[in-house]
C-alpha cells in the first residue's frame, strides 16, 4: 500500500515538473497571440544561432559605428561652416583620406569604445595627419596622432635609430587616447581638451586664468580669441569632419565603406627579421607591409618581446605557415661601430661585401657626407659576422652622425683648378668667364 502511494506521488511530481516550462511559457506569451518561442525552445537554440541573431543589429560599416557613438556637444559657428564647405567643394579629399584610414579606423574606434570615449575622436587624425602615419610636421611631430618627441617619450613611445613608435598605429593610438583622457580629466570639457592637445595644456590653463581674472567665460568659444589661428580652427575642423561623416550625401562626399571587423592582427617577433623577408613570408608587397608597420625605420625589425608586427588577418596565417617552412636566415643585417675618423663609405662597402649605395641607403647617409667616429651603422652580415640578434643596449644607444666629406670637396676644387688655362701674357684665367660673382 505504501509502495502504491509512493508511486502515485512520484508520477504526480514528474507530471508537474514536465508541465512547468509550458506554464511559464504561456504566462510569458504576448496577449496578442503572436508566436513566441518557449523558454525550452530558446534554450535549445545553439550559441552560434543566437550570435547570428545578435549580429543582425550590429553596424556593418565602421562609419555607422562612429556616428552612433558621437558624444561631444556640437559646435556651431562660422568656422565650422567654412571648413564643412571646403570639404563639400573638394569631395575627393575626404574620400582619399578615408581610403587611407581604412586599415586603421576599426582599431581606433574599438579602443575608444573600450575606454568609453566619444567615437568622433577617431576622426582627429583627419585633422592631424590626413591618416598618413608617415606625416611629419615642421615642429617634428610625427605619425597619425602627431606626437612631438618630448610628448612621445612622456607616453612611452620609443624613439631610436631603428624605430619611432610615434608612427606605430597601435602604440601611438594608445598614447593619444591616454593623453586625451588626461586632458579631459584636467579641463572637464572636450573642446578645451582638444585645444590643449593642439596648443598644450599650459597655454590653455593660462588662457583660462586670464579670462577668469577678467570675469569672462572660460569655454572654448570665449577663449578662442586668445588662441593662435591653428588652435582656433582646430575644434571647428573636427566638427566639420564630424558633420560630413554624419551626412556625407548632404556635402556631396562619398565615404568608402570600411568593414566593421578587424583589418589587422598582431604577430610576435621571435627574432630579428628583415622587412623584406617579413613581407615575403606574409605574401604581401613591401609597401603594404610598411603601411601597417611604419614605425620601423631600418630594413631590419629589431627589439625584444615588446616588438610586434601587424599583418592583415588573412596574411597572419600565411606568415606562420611560411615561417615554419623557412630554411634561411631571417635577418641579413648587423651593426658596426665606426672607430676611425678616416673610414670611407667605399671602404666599409668593400669590407662587408656590398656597395656604397647599399650602405648609404640603409643608414640614410646624405650624398657627399662621411660618417663621424662613434657612429653605429647597419651593415650586411658576412660569414665572419656574429649572426645573433642586435643587442638591446645597441638598439637604445646607437647614433649616427655625419660630416661633410672634405676630401671630396678638395678633390673637386683640384679638378676645377686643373681646368684653368694660361693667357698669352702669362696670367691664369678660369674657363668660367662670367663677370658676376655669386653673393654669399
**Catalytic entry in 120, 128, 201, 357:** 128
> How many Cα neighbours within 13 Å face the side chain of 336?
22
For the chain, the three-class secondary structure string (H helix, E strand, C coil) is CHHHHHHHHHHHHHHHHHHHHHHHHHHHCCCCCCCCCCHHHHHHCCHHHHHHHHHCCCCCEHHHHHHHCCCCCCCCCHHHHHHHHHHHHCHHHHHHHHHHHCCCHHHHHHHHHHHCCCHHHHHHHHHHCCCCCCCECCCCCECCCCECHHHHHHCCCCECCCEECCCCHHHHHHHHHHHHHHHHHHHCCHHHHHHHHHHCHHHHHHHHHHHHHCCCCCCHHHHHHHCCHHHHHHHHHHHHHHHHHHCHHHHCCCCCCCECCCCEEEEECCCCEEHHHHHHHCCCCHHHHHHHCCCECCCEECCCCCCEEEEEHHHHHHHHHHHHHCCCCCCCEEEEECCCCCCCHHHHHHHCCCCHHHHHHHHCCCCCEEECCCCEEEEECCCCCCCCCCCHHHHHHCCCCEEECHHHHHHHHHHHHHCCEECCCCCEECCCCCCCCCCC
Neighbours of 43 (CB within 10 A): 9
* 357 counts as catalytic: no
- Residues 184 and 190: beta-carbon distance below 8 Å: yes
The C-alpha atoms of residue 107 and residue 122 are separated, in whole angstroms, by 9
- Of 79, 48, 417, 26, nearest in space to 240 by CA: 79
- Of 49, 62, 56, nearest in space to 106 by CA: 62
Neighbours of 218 (CB within 10 A): 16
Burial class (CB within 10 angstroms; exposed 0-12, middle 13-18, buried 19+) of 244: buried
Active site residues: 128
Amino acid at each position: 500500500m505504501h509502495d502504491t502511494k509512493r508511486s502515485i506521488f512520484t508520477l504526480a511530481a514528474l507530471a508537474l515538473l514536465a508541465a512547468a516550462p509550458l506554464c511559464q511559457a504561456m504566462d510569458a506569451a504576448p496577449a496578442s497571440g503572436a508566436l513566441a518561442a518557449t523558454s525550452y525552445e530558446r534554450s535549445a537554440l545553439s550559441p552560434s544561432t543566437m550570435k547570428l541573431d545578435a549580429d543582425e543589429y550590429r553596424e556593418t560599416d565602421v562609419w555607422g559605428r562612429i556616428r552612433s557613438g558621437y558624444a561631444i556637444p556640437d559646435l556651431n559657428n562660422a568656422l565650422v561652416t567654412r571648413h564643412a564647405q571646403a570639404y563639400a567643394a573638394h569631395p575627393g579629399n575626404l574620400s582619399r583620406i578615408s581610403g587611407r584610414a581604412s586599415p586603421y579606423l576599426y582599431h581606433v574606434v574599438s579602443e575608444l569604445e573600450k575606454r568609453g570615449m566619444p567615437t568622433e575622436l577617431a576622426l582627429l587624425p583627419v585633422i592631424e595627419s590626413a591618416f598618413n602615419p608617415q606625416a611629419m610636421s615642421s615642429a617634428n611631430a610625427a605619425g597619425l596622432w602627431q606626437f612631438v618627441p618630448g610628448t612621445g617619450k612622456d607616453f612611452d613611445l620609443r624613439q631610436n635609430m631603428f624605430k619611432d613608435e610615434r608612427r606605430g598605429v597601435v602604440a601611438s593610438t594608445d598614447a593619444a587616447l591616454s593623453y586625451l583622457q588626461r586632458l579631459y580629466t584636467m579641463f572637464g570639457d572636450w573642446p578645451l581638451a582638444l585645444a590643449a592637445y593642439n596648443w598644450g595644456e599650459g597655454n590653455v590653463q593660462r588662457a583660462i586664468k586670464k579670462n577668469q581674472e577678467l570675469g569672462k567665460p572660460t569655454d572654448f568659444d570665449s577663449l578662442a580669441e586668445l588662441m593662435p589661428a591653428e588652435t582656433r580652427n582646430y575644434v571647428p575642423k573636427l566638427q566639420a569632419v564630424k558633420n560630413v561623416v554624419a551626412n556625407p550625401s548632404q556635402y556631396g562626399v562619398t565615404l568608402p565603406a570600411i568593414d566593421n571587423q578587424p583589418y589587422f592582427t598582431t604577430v610576435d617577433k621571435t627574432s630579428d627579421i628583415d622587412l623584406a623577408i617579413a613581407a615575403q613570408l606574409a605574401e604581401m608587397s613591401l609597401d603594404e607591409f610598411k603601411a601597417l608597420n611604419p614605425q620601423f625605420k631600418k630594413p631590419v625589425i629589431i627589439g625584444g618581446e615588446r616588438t610586434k608586427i601587424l599583418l592583415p588577418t588573412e596574411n597572419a596565417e600565411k606568415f606562420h605557415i611560411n615561417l615554419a617552412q623557412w630554411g634561411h636566415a631571417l635577418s641579413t643585417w648587423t651593426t658596426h661601430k665606426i672607430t676611425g675618423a678616416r673610414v670611407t663609405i667605399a671602404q666599409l662597402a668593400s669590407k662587408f661585401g656590398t656597395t656604397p649605395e647599399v650602405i648609404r641607403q640603409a643608414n640614410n647617409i646624405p650624398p657627399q657626407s662621411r660618417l663621424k667616429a662613434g657612429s653605429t651603422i647597419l651593415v650586411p652580415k658576412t660569414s665572419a659576422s656574429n649572426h645573433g640578434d642586435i643587442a638591446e643596449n645597441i638598439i637604445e644607444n646607437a647614433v649616427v652622425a655625419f660630416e661633410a666629406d672634405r676630401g671630396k670637396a678638395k678633390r673637386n676644387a683640384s679638378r676645377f683648378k686643373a681646368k684653368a688655362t694660361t693667357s698669352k701674357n702669362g696670367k691664369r684665367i678660369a674657363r668660367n668667364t662670367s663677370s658676376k660673382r655669386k653673393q654669399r
